[in-house]
Structure 1
Amino acid sequence: MKAYWIAHVDIADAEHYSQYTQRTPQAIAAFGGKFLARGGRSEALEGRQTPQRTVIIEFESYETAVACYRSAAYQEAKSYREDWARAEIIIVEGINPI
């Protein structure tokens, strides 16, 4: 069953944040991840304010999604984000297709 990273990100310094966005695709690709949404238009209809960026990444399984997040490559990329952006990332398992 597929799984997805859903990330809401608010960026304090775009120039420094770009160091993260330059490194992340390689870490994601190493685990077969596929970007489905990466910062396009969005609107909060309920709940909290719309974040500056919403990112959705698809993985082949929940275990693969978790392994990618915990990988050394992603953790290294993440270190470039931590001082310059606030992120909320969840991993959610998809549903079985009918």
Structure 2
Amino acid sequence: MPKAYWIVHVTVHDEVRYRDYLAAAMPVFEKYGAYFVVRNGLYEVMEGATRQRNFVIEFKNRAVAMECYTSPEYQAAKAIRQQYSEGDFVIIDGAE
């Protein structure tokens, strides 16, 4: 079973309150064994549009990635995130 990834692009509207999301989400990521492959690094837009922050988060497989996203703990964190940012979010399988 291939690894799975969250690919997330975010524009933050309230930097101070966005920290509340991070505080709520980080324990959830730890619980589900998430590994940050990309965490808001320096980037250049080569084509198309982008957002202010970019993340690639690796999970053991799609089932774990989905379980993390749909968990009550992450849903609570997501509600905070959505108050202070907007973004694009996909879950995708890695190459086998």
TM-score (norm 1): 0.91
SS at match of 2:83: coil
**Is there any run of 5+ residues in structure 1 with no aligned partner, and where?**
none
Letter in 2 for 1:74: Y
State the 4+ residue runs in structure 1 displaced beyond 6 angstroms: none
Give the superposed CA RMSD. 0.9
CA distance in 2, matches of 1:92, 1:43: 22
In 2: Cα distance, 1:27 partner to 1:43 partner? 30
Structure with greater proportional helix content: 2
Instruction: Summarize the alignment of residues 13-92 of structure 1 with structure 2, pairs less than 5 Å apart.
Output: 13-48=14-49, 50-92=50-92
Partners in 1 of 2:58 and 2:80 — Cα distance? Answer: 22
Q: Over residues 47-81 of structure 1, what are the superposed CA-to-partner deviations in whole Å (9 max), with x where a residue is unaligned?
A: 11x31100110001011101110001111111111
Identical counterparts, % of pairs:
36
5+ residue gaps in structure 2?
A: none
Distance 1:43 1:19 in 2: 28
State the distance in 2 between where 1:74 and 1:61 align. Answer: 17
Compute the TM-score of the two structures, normalised by the length of structure 2: 0.93
The alignment partner of 1:43 has SS state of: coil
Partner Cα distance (1:65, 1:55) in 2: 14
Amino acid at match of 1:82: Q
The amino acid that maps onto 2:78 is K
Q: Aligned pair count?
A: 95
